[in-house]
A and B are shown apart, each in its own frame.
Chain A
Amino acid sequence: MATTSSTATRPAFAARLWQSRIDYLFLVPGMLIFGMFILYPLFASQYFSLLRWSGFDANQTFIGLANYAELLTDKYFWDAFGRSFLFTSSTVPIQMLVSLVFAIILNDKLLRLSALFRTLIFLPVVTPVAVIGIVMSIILSPFNGPINLAMLDLQLLARPLDFLGDPKLVLWTLAAIYVWKWVGVTMVYWLAALQTVPAELYEAARLDGVKSWQMTLFVVLPMIMPFAIVIALISAISALNVFPLVQAMTQGGPYFASEVMEVYIFRNAFATAGAIPRLGYASAAGVFFGASIMGLTILQILAVRHLRNREKTNGR
């Protein structure tokens, strides 16, 4: 009965399209932006990666998979590739942990000045990376930079450290600055997650004489864990877009020691320092990198789903 009546009232496909014409009209501005700056580049990159192409006004020659073949043997590419993932896998856990601690402390509504503290922790987020690049390179300077002076005064160091000039240190310095800059955003995500814990629960725990650290560890944390996966995913994706910070601070140097994937792409495509720009080759690097990230993301989502399903079947 129900099915026959629904097929009978369901108009033909063309009629349905015409019926939703106003919906499509609403989609036009959004789809223009989405198509031009997100969808088109996604597919154009794949085509460009098959070209020999030295500059935006130069001729394009189709060379098949030669760019990819060359990439696979390029040491600088693999170094940058690995560095991007190393950077992400080292910053994300620290960033999540530090921001979680801040969020748990600041979630206490009775805490004095908690709004002010929140704002102060958020300040680096609203500071443009170009500015951070300048200020940090002065502050961390081995020549009378305040950090080195303070550490020398406190006898923590015998010699000043060249935080941004030492190939062994530079990536970790950048990672620390990155975490400092973005902890504020992750903290807001955690604060949002903490708001889902009902206030009665805290009250009940207090009346039962449960200590607040016990409450946090055994009740609150397990409750907000589902959010952790989403937050980790968002943080990981942002950490792969580290170009502005690295370009503003070190431009990938010294001796390529901080060259992450996007800096590598930028160097090959735009900042070639006299050499011929290689747009096709840089595109191939971008496609390879993007595909790897998407592959990892899909794996992560599948793993999460698998875990959730297992939890469900176990729970029932």
Chain B
Amino acid sequence: MAAEAVEGIRQPLVTPRVRRWLVSAGLAAVCCIWIYPLLWMVSASLKSNAMIFANEGLVPSQPTFENYVKAWNQANIGAYFFNTLFVTVGSVAIVTISTAMMGYVLGRRRFPGRGLIFALIIFTIFVPQGYTIIPVFDLLTRLGIGQSLWGVMLATSGGSFVIFVLLFAGYFSQMPNELEEAAKMDGVGFVKTFWYVMLPLSRPIIVTVVVMQTLYAWNDFLLPLVVTLANPAIRTLSVGVYAFKGENFVDWGGMTAASTITILPVVILFLFLQRYFIDGLAGAVKG
């Protein structure tokens, strides 16, 4: 009876299998257009300046790595690369540890002042960067790090700080109480419980924070631009590429090569961590 009923349903003209193939093909076309600018960039970086506008298509007829050598050596992209790496790694370490600790305490513990801190955090969540840049730079100058990479690293840590604290707090608050109670029964202290029990369990959030902060630090522009205005040697990649455009406005090959060097590390990082990242973010939005 049941089998008859299922067979009785009219077979649609396009079966789901075929339909999925069609959707995939359509998406493939959309994605090609979507990343065309980036494909064009990689292609141009492998061409000589004369060939870039020769309208010869994306595959270079005479590929050359000259642009990369030039960008790395002459345009200081090598130095900028390590500056950015320094700032990014430092700020990721600072942010991950401090937000995890803060989120843990706010999410799981009860203490006087907790409500006040939460209120301050919510209050500041929507403050735009344009609002804070002048006092931040002033503060860095007073601390003597207004012209240094340490200043960029510290101030970059403040970028998405509030959101990360809320992510950790939300995640930790949903964990079962039994874990802490069991740890307490076994005589494990507060710090050790946090370090060996709670922190490893929050891996999805840690990955999300690491990826988001890496993206933020690698992309950040306003703050490094301001800090390095008077000191080109400590430029980050974003600022360096931007300045390169201003100084060599006809060297398209060099510019696109420098650009490719800039995006490669973050793209690779994202490819490796994307599964964790999307799942972590998904969990965070649900929470």
**A interface residues, Cβ below 8 angstroms from B:** 13, 16-17, 19-20, 22-24, 26-27, 29-34, 36-42, 44-45, 48, 56, 105-106, 108, 110-113, 117-139, 144, 146, 149, 180, 188-189, 191-193, 195-196, 209, 227, 230, 237, 240-241, 243-244, 247-248, 261-262, 265-266, 269-270, 279, 282-283, 286-287, 289-290, 293-294, 297
Contact = CB atoms under 8 A, between A and B. Distances in A.
Given A23-B111, A130-B238, A33 B134 contact: no
Contacts of B238: 128-131, 244
Given A27-B105, A38-B132, A45-B134, A128 B154 contact: no
A209 B218 CA distance: 49
Given A128-B219, A135-B259, A286-B134, A20 B111 contact: yes
Interface size band for B: 35 or more
Nearest to A37: B158
Contacts of A24: 111
Given A29-B101, A136-B37, A117 B139 contact: no
B167 interface: no
Given A17-B112, A266-B222, A286 B98 contact: no
A241 B222 CA distance: 10
B137 A126 contact: no
Contact of A244 (B138, B222, B267): B222
Given A113-B28, A244-B221, A244-B222, 18 more contacts: A26-B101, A30-B98, A36-B139, A39-B120, A41-B134, A42-B124, A44-B139, A45-B135, A111-B23, A120-B35, A131-B41, A134-B245, A134-B255, A144-B53, A188-B281, A241-B128, A262-B222, A286-B128
A110 B241 CA distance: 41
Contacts of B135: 40-41, 44-45, 48, 283
A36 B109 contact: no
A279 B157 CA distance: 24
Given A26-B101, A247-B225, A38 B282 contact: no
Contacts of B229: 270
A261 B128 CA distance: 10
Interface stretch (B61-69, B174-182, B270-278): B270-278
A290 B128 contact: yes
Interface of B: 9, 16, 20-21, 23-24, 27-28, 31, 34-35, 37-38, 40-41, 44, 53, 55, 94-95, 97-99, 101-102, 104-106, 109, 111-112, 117, 120-121, 124-139, 141, 146, 154-155, 157-158, 161-162, 165, 190-191, 194, 215, 218-222, 225-226, 229, 237-239, 241-242, 245, 252, 255-256, 259, 262-263, 266-267, 270-271, 274, 278, 281-286
29 contacts: A23-B105, A26-B105, A29-B101, A29-B102, A34-B165, A38-B127, A41-B136, A41-B139, A42-B124, A42-B132, A44-B138, A56-B141, A113-B27, A119-B270, A124-B34, A130-B238, A130-B241, A131-B241, A131-B263, A133-B245, A134-B242, A138-B255, A192-B283, A192-B285, A247-B242, A248-B221, A262-B128, A286-B130, A294-B126
A262 B130 CA distance: 5
Contact of B161 (A20, A37, A283): A37
A191 B241 contact: no
Nearest to A16: B112
Contacts of A42: 124, 127, 131-132
A127 to B, nearest CB: 5
Given A29-B101, A120-B35, A192 B282 contact: yes
A48 B134 CA distance: 9
Contacts of B44: 138
Contacts of A286: 128, 130-134
B278 A126 contact: no
A240 B242 CA distance: 21
A142 to B, nearest CB: 13
User: Which of A112, A128, A196 has the most B CB atoms < 10 Å from its CB?
Assistant: A128
Contact of A243 (B99, B215, B222, B274): B222
Contact of A262 (B23, B129, B281, B284): B129
B24 A111 contact: yes
A39 B158 CA distance: 10
Contacts of B222: 243-244, 247, 262, 266
B262 A131 contact: yes
A24 to B, nearest CB: 7
Contacts of A244: 219-222, 238
Contacts of B101: 26-27, 29-30
Cβ-closest 6 pairs across A and B: A37-B158, A30-B102, A20-B111, A192-B282, A262-B130, A41-B132
A135 B136 contact: no
A122 B16 CA distance: 27
B24 A297 contact: no
Contact of A30 (B24, B34, B165): B165
A30 B134 contact: no
A243 B244 CA distance: 19
A92 to B, nearest CB: 14
B104 A135 contact: no
Nearest to A211: B12
A248 B129 CA distance: 16
Nearest to A247: B221
